[in-house]
Structure 1
């Protein structure tokens, strides 16, 4: 399993507010299905970060493109494969 850090910069604040509950429901489903390692918003209001677990980049892209924020163009996205380093490793 690989990790993918996904930046979700705000494109449209009104759409972000409108689709927030759908986005959060989607993240909860993905987390419950074991596809999210961590997620959260940026405190400056510029967007958020989701760290997905996926077999490959193509799968991670599919996850991101099914997010209501992305579908409705409330947020853009930038994906980076992430090589996590834990303390002591």
Structure 2
């Protein structure tokens, strides 16, 4: 179908996204506990980036839904991204939850200059 319309790409780069959210019933923590948890969360995400598993990562700001906290692009499949996100200290503590998805973008529109290997895969939209 996409081949019949010139403005719809035929090839896509498919990457794995993880969107972090604050659950409605996140546990209450003291300021000191929150500071410690945030430090461990950031260290965990930084280690995944150093290992080349996360290629882009960061918090949201000025979003329409404040429960959305941040997003990461992973250089692995969705199942592995979920497994790794389950190990995030903030997820373990119940302060964050997440959604994992594949994001299809027109081939060649994304670049990850700091990535040490391939990110996602090239696919063709099924007819």
Q: Same fold (TM over 0.5)?
A: yes
Describe the SS at the equivalent of 1:78: strand
**SS in structure 1 at match of 2:80:** helix
Q: CA RMSD in A?
A: 2.3
- How many Å separate the matches in 2 of 1:3 and 1:17? 31
Looking at secondary structure, tell me which structure has more helix per residue.
Answer: 1
Structure 1 gaps, min length 5: none
How many residues align? The count is 85
Q: Which of 72, 83, 88 matches 2:104?
A: 83
Q: TM-score, normalised by structure 1?
A: 0.79
Structure 1 residue 59, shift from structure 2 partner:
1.0
Report the Cα offset of residue 3 of structure 1: 2.4
Q: Which has the larger radius of gyration?
A: 2
Structure 1 position 84, deviation (Å)? 4.1
- 2:94 matches 1:73: yes
CA distance in structure 1 between the partners assigned to 2:54 and 2:89 by the alignment: 16
**Corresponding residue to 2:41 among 23, 42, 48:** 23
Alignment of 1:1-89 (within 5 A): 3-11=15-23, 12=26, 14-15=28-29, 17-18=34-35, 19-44=37-62, 45-46=66-67, 47-54=69-76, 56-85=77-106, 86=109
Deviations 1:33-87 (A, max 9, x none): 0001111111145311111111x22211111111111111101100111234416
